[in-house]
A and B are shown apart, each in its own frame.
Chain A
Amino acid sequence: MSSQRFRLKEAGRLDRNAPLKFKFDGKIYEGFRGDTLSSALLANGVHLVGRSFKYHRPRGHLGVGAVEANALIQVGDGNSTEPNVRASQVEIYDGLVASSQNRWPSLLFDLGVVNDLLGGLIPAGFYYKTFMWPRKWWMKYEYFIRRAAGLGKAPTGRDPDRYEKMHAHCDVLIVGAGPAGLAAALAASKTGARVIIADDQQTFGGSLNTDTDCYINDKTTVDWGKDVVATLEGLPDVTMLPNTTVSGYYEQNYLTLLETTKPHFFKSTIQQTRQRLWKVRAKQVILATGMIERPLLFANNDRPGIMLSSAIREYINKYGVTPGQNPLIFTNNDDAYRTAITMRKNNINVAAIVDIRENPDSELFRQAQEMQIPIHVGSAVVTTKGYNRIKSATIIKLSSDGKTLTGERKVLECDCLAMSGGWNPAIHLFSQSGGRVKWNHELATFIPSEATQNVLAIGGCNGTADLAKSLKEGLQAGVSAARLSGNKGHPPAIPSVQEPKQSETRFVLPIPTQKNKLVDEKVFIDFQNDVTLADIQLASREGYNSVEHLKRYTTVGMGTDQGKTSNVNALMLLSQILDCEPEQVGYTTFRPPYAPTTIGAYAGRNIGNLFSPVRTTAINPWHKEAGARFEHVGQWMRAWYYPKANETMRQAVDREVKAARTNIGILDASTLGKIDIQGPDAAEFLNRVYTNAWLKLPPGTSRYGLMLKEDGMVMDDGVTTCIKENHYHMTTTTGGAASVLEWLEEWLQTEWPNLKVYLTSVTEQWAVAAICGPKSRELLKELCTDIDLSDKAFPFMGYREGTVAGIKARIFRISFTGELSFEINVPRSYGLSLWEKLLDIGKKYEICPYGTEAMHVLRAEKGFIIVGQETDGTVTPVDLGMDWIISKTKPDFIGKRALSRRDIIKADRKQLVGLLTNNATDILPEGSQIVEEVLPKPPMSMIGHVTSSYFSPNCGRPIAMALIKSGRDRMGQTVHIPLKNKSIAATITDVNFLDNVSK
């Protein structure tokens, strides 16, 4: 085991009494509780953690938290593994397993590095230029590109971890728990608001934990932060969410937050939630997301050991780790001096400070001088050396305009380089919220401008670097957000702050490169996507001068990093090339999520059985008991068929279909949509929504109806019954129940609000047993004595109310099979009892329960359509041969006008016909395409497709229904159905197979 050589004795907020062991690339290391994978690796001197995306160059840690662009690693093993995770965002736990990515065969020896040597051959837009031609080679290229550009590996099995969702509301949501965010939370909660405060770090405090040279109310920043956190924890209406990344900002202040459970907690118990996706609706949002430090643009600025200055300060002050023993500082501003001073205070030797500015003069500068840190002013690092870790940097003085190098080269040895190129507010969420941004000349970056939602940006996110100002902004924003959301309490006083004053920044971008060098040295702009200065220049030469084009052509700002450290540098370069203001170049729009989110978190608990609700009928227990096979129909579980011992599906269905025509079949029809329609205008309403006439339907009778959309296409069908005057019972298809009700409501409320009609869904209120077959009347007679069931007294399409098996029932004499049939409706709670009674008494008639498959075959034998099977939203009643159901006299019904459109009355539309295969053993696959003539290979001209196809036991042969162009004019013609290895010939017939074809 390696010891933690780079762990400092004192600094840091870790639990040093809790040492943890973890594995990286097969080697075991030690860290402490509170470490991230990055800080623990740095403690062990491990800088090399990955290979770059395109050139496979060795890469190390660059930043902290979500800012890390290089250290993407694979965490966990088996199906819990997660690829492309930032090492800086993984809290370590005992037994953590992680590995580097994008290297082969190993991290130290990677063959892909050949891309780096051939770098000149992989310019911007390389893939577009090379691989778009010849086109048929693309597939081959793609295989290699995908392999070469591989990030991590996705698990192959199901994610074993558990995820959850939380819905929450609050007055004020504060994003970021640094000084500004904590101040805002304190002020908002003291003013009475319900507050949620989230931070992606495990410890609240942000820069309070790293900028330890400041004092608030004479306390250290760390102590002040701890006090505020303790105060907030004591308040009832404050929810504090550490380890939580606010990833999306949507309309009406709806935000998504991804909370990661503390790993030692999550790993110690079984079935703890790993991540929780919060969906928060906030009255006011305060963005205190801070700033992201910018890299400096010099040759070979990507070697392991080159890091952002503020990140190094954070590793020292928060994690008690130094990334090097002889670091060099390279800066264009005062802030990096704080890193140098922090190092010296922790007894780390500082090789030198290289400052781009010619005459820096500030408190911090003088303090560094007093500490006798060598300072090279007006100078720049022009290149670096060291393959797997930086070894030295070459510095040269800059000309006064910053465009050329003057003077002597000096080589400074170092094992780490802290760079600071200025600061960018983390405006991602502000941009996602729809807010506009504006260019700030002093900071040379974009800051928030006009907001379009109830949001305030404060502190670093607002471009405010001073601690005192940030705290003031935080307190003010907290109070105002609390007041705007209706609270009236009193805010706390503004604290006194001591902090080092900072002077101006000098932007030199890029650092000029040395003349007379032998090889082209790469200046990296986007570390994650391997985009270099040369790429940006080339893209611009080739005319990609819009920021959106530049992004796509060079891939700058793409990937999981989304340009956190690269965007502003890239567009500043573009503005220099185009000789315009950065504001004119513009800015790409940020889109959610801010940081990559596991798909599991979006799915939450809506997986497996909980994916969607399952609806079952009252008779379901009987189906289960009887060994039925089930099928999903929408959300419903319906009995599909009831196999007896050793029966195949085909045998069972054949038996059920035969029984329904010879004895009695019984079907659980409870899932049919049922709508209770009442009101004085009910008949008029039905007359407008169905295609046929409804005004004169007498009580006690039913009618079949077809509903069209306004475009004339069939939408749904069903039987509607007049229960009594102004009271109707409508049935719909099982799948269409909800949408039909919504459709009817829409017309009633928006088009015909003057009609007095009331609709109620009663699908779940009635259980329905449909008995069908020649002996069904005899069976019903035994159980129902208060209704005259004779054909004369209770004719086809009749409706009666009475008692069946002692249960009050509604009986409909309607049929979906063509046989004598009664649909018995009883209140749902009596459904099972009715069913059992019918089966019990039905035994002597050899009653046979049948499922949905037999129901399909039975209706197809008679040529009855199923909406959604014979129709697909492009089929009119005329196409179906159902002209008889279209009223010629009604002035209006939905879809009436469309039926006379030129396109609808064309003769060559697809029409519903029957198909009989010439070879009586062939069953056509549903959905097959139909042709007139079979060619050796596609394309062939298709004239239609098979909509339904079954073996019909009552016809003794396969039957099929199809939609075929001008089908009704082709009766008797032979068509062909080409399949993969053969072609089936079939003859076009009428659809009523039972009556017209088999007899």
Chain B
Amino acid sequence: MLHIECPWCGFRDDAEFHYGGEAHITRPDPSKTLTDEKFSEYLFLKTNTKGLILERWCHRSGCRRWFNVLRNTITNEILEVYPVTETPSSKQGKETYDRNWRRISPSKKTPKTDEAK
């Protein structure tokens, strides 16, 4: 069981939390023109990361606040916890943020780079 540090309540077991998937995914503006393909990318495509990932968690059975976490999916080590409205501040967090294909058009990138560690 993961031990997660809620920014408001401190360290708690993961049974108190709710997983919210990958963080920093930009929601497309529905009032603008958007192809089905582009929209489906937002809706359905998820990275299956081996290594560092930025993800959202909610302290469901505690303060009910959402926050972001930098986690290593191999070791489950949590390297950074930061507010949901901000970007990571650690070096590894920044690198992980920059590496995400969602911040570049995925159609312009080869799938290989998605898996970069």
Contact = CB atoms under 8 A, between A and B. Distances in A.
A898 B43 contact: yes
Interface stretch (A143-151, A249-257, A967-975): A249-257
B76 A742 contact: no
A252 B18 contact: no
Contacts of B62: none
Contacts, number: 64
Contacts of B3: 251-254, 281
Contact of B75 (A452, A742, A896, A901): A452
A898 B34 CA distance: 11
Nearest to B85: A753
B46 interface: no
A250 B76 CA distance: 9
A891 B30 contact: yes
B9 to A, nearest CB: 15
Contact of A452 (B30, B43, B65, B77): B77
Contact of A745 (B34, B36, B64, B77): B64
Interface size class, chain A:
20 to 34
A746 B66 contact: yes
B79 to A, nearest CB: 12
Contact of A749 (B27, B39, B65, B78): B65
B1 A250 contact: yes
Interface string A883-916: 0000000011000111001100000000000000
Interface in A700-742: 710-711, 742
A579 interface: no
A234 B60 CA distance: 42
A747 to B, nearest CB: 10
B77 A749 contact: no
A604 interface: no
B40 interface: yes
Contacts of A251: 1-3, 75-77
A476 B101 CA distance: 47
A750 interface: yes
B28 interface: yes
Contact of A897 (B20, B39, B60, B78): B39
B53 to A, nearest CB: 15
B76 A901 contact: no
A892 B30 contact: yes
Interface string B21-42: 0000001111100101001100
B10 to A, nearest CB: 13
A753 B66 CA distance: 11
Contact of B28 (A253, A750, A753, A897): A897
A251 B3 CA distance: 8
B18 A742 contact: yes
A710 B31 contact: no
B58 A434 contact: no
Contacts of A742: 18, 58, 60, 64
B56 A710 contact: no
A401 interface: no
B85 A746 contact: no
Most buried by B among A746, A750, A751, A898: A750
Contact of A750 (B40, B60, B75, B84): B84
Contacts of B58: 742, 745-746
B75 A254 contact: no
Nearest to B29: A892
A897 B29 CA distance: 9
Contacts of A254: 1, 3, 13
Contacts of B84: 749-750, 753
A902 B78 CA distance: 40
B66 A897 contact: no
Contacts of A452: 75, 77
A291 B80 CA distance: 38
A898 B66 CA distance: 25
A892 B31 contact: yes
Most buried by B among A281, A746, A897: A897
Nearest to B68: A750
Contacts of A897: 28, 30, 34, 39
A975 to B, nearest CB: 32
Nearest to A761: B64
Nearest to A741: B64
A461 B81 CA distance: 35
Nearest to B77: A452
Nearest to A892: B30
Nearest to A753: B85
B28 to A, nearest CB: 7
A250 B40 CA distance: 36
A252 B34 CA distance: 43
A281 B14 CA distance: 12
Most buried by B among A711, A746, A902: A746
Interface string B1-15: 111000000000100
A898 B39 contact: yes
Interface in A233-276: 250-254
Contacts of A279: 1
Contacts of B85: 753
Interface string A747-758: 001110100000
Contacts of B64: 742, 745
Contacts of B66: 745-746, 749-750
A963 to B, nearest CB: 22
Interface string B48-77: 000000001010100011100000001111
A753 B83 CA distance: 11
A250 B15 CA distance: 14
A791 to B, nearest CB: 40
A896 B56 contact: no
Nearest to A903: B36
A454 to B, nearest CB: 11
Most buried by B among A281, A711, A749: A749
B36 A746 contact: no
Nearest to A897: B30
A434 B76 CA distance: 10
A435 B60 CA distance: 32
Contacts of B34: 897
Nearest to A256: B1
Given A452-B75, A710-B43, A746 B31 contact: no
A901 B31 contact: no
Nearest to A891: B31
Contact of A901 (B29, B36, B78): B36
Given A251-B1, A281-B3, A750-B56, A434 B31 contact: no
A746 B1 contact: no
Nearest to A251: B76
A523 to B, nearest CB: 38
Interface in A589-644: none
Nearest to B38: A897
Contacts of A751: 27
Given A750-B56, A897-B28, 10 more contacts: A251-B1, A254-B3, A254-B13, A279-B1, A281-B13, A452-B75, A710-B43, A742-B18, A753-B85, A891-B31
27 contacts: A250-B1, A252-B1, A252-B76, A253-B3, A254-B1, A254-B3, A279-B1, A281-B3, A434-B74, A434-B75, A452-B77, A710-B43, A742-B18, A742-B58, A742-B64, A745-B64, A746-B20, A746-B66, A749-B65, A750-B84, A753-B84, A892-B29, A892-B30, A897-B30, A898-B39, A901-B36, A901-B40
Closest A-B pairs by Cβ, 5 of them? A252-B3, A251-B76, A897-B30, A891-B31, A749-B66
